Amino acid sequence: MGVFERAPPASRIDLAEEPEFDLGGMKVIPAERVVLFNGDRRELQPRVMKVLVGLARASPMVVSRDRIIEQCWDGRIVGDDALNRCILALRHLSRQFTPRPFAIETVPRVGHRLLAKEGRKNVLAAVGRRGLLAAGGAVTIASVGGLAWLGSRSGALPSEAQPLVEGAKAAMLEGTVDQFANAVAKLKKAVELAPGSAEAWGLLALAYEREARLAPEKERSQLVGRGLAAAKRALAIDGDQPDALAAMILALPEYRNWLAYERACRRALRRHPDDPELNLVLAKLLAQVGRCTEALRHLDITLARQAMAPGHHVFRTILLWSLGQLDDAESGLDRAFRLWPRHIGLWFTRFHFLAYNGRPATALAMLADTARRPIGIPEWNFELSGLQARALETGDALTIAEALAASASAARRGTGFAEKAISFASTVNAVDVAYEILAALFFGRGFSVGEAYFTKEQGVYAGSRKRDTYFLFWRPMANVRKDPRFRQLVAELGLEEYWRRSGTSPD
């Protein structure tokens, strides 16, 4: 066929006449609109089954969108959404089985390609000679070495790469700087071994973006760029890979960009409503804008799949505490604390929960038990926390003044210390002090807040352009929120505009 000749008309797909075939171990019965895999049975909508047959006929070649529509919609004019819904339904079908029997790759501005777990020979031989002849002229070869390409990009995860991927997943659940770096190292090796694995590339993208959020500002742009590059590799293999979608969202600016960020989250979640990473990303965004009830619902979806992530339990405690559900917050916190008694986030969350909820003496007893403190924290940090707890315990004016001065001084060291200083000042009703630190934190007025989040030993950095707003909705911040200046603060931050444009309000 010459370059400018038309392709022959596509053979319309009649399900009643299509033979049964095997697709990566999944039996496909077009006439009954049924697929069978390891004893599980799924019934497909007629159009979805037609798209599956059309892609299987041509596998591993790319089929143009126009050709699929001609085959599956009998030449009728339909919008892109109709085909997109079928492709998403097929990807969802494959994800219901372990191992996944097939993947569908989207080639931008060209079409789609189906890849079976067991490769091209298995699919084409099963569809049969009639299906092969009908596919003549209907496919686009992605590269000159089309068949050789399949051998290097089958999408299957070889056995030597599997422990690297699983180890990286476990490291990422820890949520610490060193473990994100550990995950990146493992996944870089995994994609060397499995360059056609969308899962490995998607996880690498996610690990890079998570690491970027904790890194010094001078290192962030490079990490974000690497994460985006890995995400694009994953999406070139599987245009619906959820970890890659989460990484693409994490690469967006969040602060003062809340509405666009939320919309990006919800678009991805419409495709993957139960994905733990996408639900986590949205939950954190909702916390930033004071919508803690809805944030909790999405976080619980994440925890159903990632129960062994200590940071998720810290987040859940803070949400429940902010909502005034103190019993639930404490019981969940205690369970997590028994599992990870020296985790930095859990230890300090429990300490502050006790100190701010009527049991500062119990918090001080934690502090006195030096053998069970988290490691890597300088003594002056513990002393500052102890000073705040003693001020709350005694109510003594001199002790409160001393703790206020020490807290305000520590606020210059980093964002986390500034947030804790504001919360303490609010709790002891030193609202003017709280607003002075708020002005510095958000607008650089009065003094500069350091780039670190807490101490350099923890290795977590907030940078100068990213600011969290979720702490504004903590329960200890009640006195700050009651002050008339709070309305001006949220307006200047852009939160008021977000609530107006999104039609929502904080809890």
Both ends of the chain: CA-CA distance in Å?
65
Q: Strand 111-116 vs strand 40-43: parallel, antiparallel, or unpaired?
A: unpaired
| Ordered per-residue pLDDT tens for the chain, 507 residues | 333 333 344 568 888 888 888 898 899 999 889 999 888 889 999 999 999 999 998 887 888 888 888 889 876 777 777 888 899 899 989 988 888 899 998 887 778 989 887 443 334 333 333 343 333 333 332 332 332 223 333 346 788 899 999 999 999 999 988 999 999 999 999 999 999 999 999 999 999 999 999 999 889 999 999 999 999 999 999 999 999 999 999 999 999 999 999 999 999 999 999 999 999 999 999 999 999 999 999 999 999 999 999 999 999 999 999 999 999 999 999 999 999 999 999 999 999 999 999 999 999 999 999 999 999 899 999 999 999 999 999 999 999 999 999 999 999 999 999 999 999 999 999 999 999 999 999 999 999 998 888 888 888 888 766 799 999 999 999 999 999 999 999 999 999 999 999 999 999
Amino acid at 425: A
In the sheet that holds 21-23, the strands lie side by side as: 21-23, 26-29, 34-37, 40-43
DSSP codes of every residue in 193-223: H-TT-HHHHHHHHHHHHHHHHHS-HHHHHHH
Q: Please state, in angstroms and as integers, the Cα–Cα distance from residue 79 to each residue in 12, 48, 65, 107, following that order.
A: 18, 15, 11, 18
The HSE-up count of residue 91 (CA atoms within 13 Å, CB side) is 21
Residue 475 near residue 324 (C-beta atoms within 8 A): yes
Three-state secondary structure readout of 388-450? HHHHHHHCCHHHHHHHHHHHHHHCCCCHHHHHHHHHHHHHCCCHHHHHHHHHHHHHCCCCCCC
No. of H helices and E strands in the chain?
A: 25, 8
Alpha helices in 20-117 (DSSP H): 46-58, 65-72, 80-95
Q: What is the pLDDT of residue 453?
A: 86
> Domains plus CATH for the chain?
15-142 (1.10.10.10), 162-250 (1.25.40.10), 326-375 (no CATH), 376-468 (no CATH)
Q: What is the DSSP letter of 3?
A: T
CA 37 to centroid of chain Cα atoms: 30
Measured CA to CA, the distance from residue 118 to residue 114 in angstroms comes to 12
Residue 139 near residue 112 (C-beta atoms within 8 A): no
**Residues with Cβ within 8 Å of residue 482, at least 6 apart in sequence:** none
Residues in the chain, overall count: 507
Q: What is the pLDDT of residue 148?
A: 27
**Residues with Cβ within 8 Å of residue 165, at least 6 apart in sequence:** 157, 186, 187, 190, 197, 199, 200, 203
Measured CA to CA, the distance from residue 320 to residue 314 in angstroms comes to 10
Measured CA to CA, the distance from residue 123 to residue 126 in angstroms comes to 5
Q: Strand 102-107 vs strand 139-140: parallel, antiparallel, or unpaired?
A: unpaired
Measured CA to CA, the distance from residue 105 to residue 338 in angstroms comes to 44
Measured CA to CA, the distance from residue 212 to residue 248 in angstroms comes to 13
Residue 295 near residue 319 (C-beta atoms within 8 A): yes
Helix (H) or strand (E) holding 34: strand 34-37
Helix (H) or strand (E) holding 62: strand 62-64
| Cα angle 471, 472, 473; round to 5 | 85
Helix (H) or strand (E) holding 384: helix 379-394
Closest Cα to residue 230, out of 191, 266, 263?
191
What is the residue whose two structure tokens read 């960009």?
257
Model pTM score: 0.70
Amino acid at 472: L
Q: What is the pLDDT of residue 465?
A: 65
Q: What is the DSSP letter of 43?
A: E
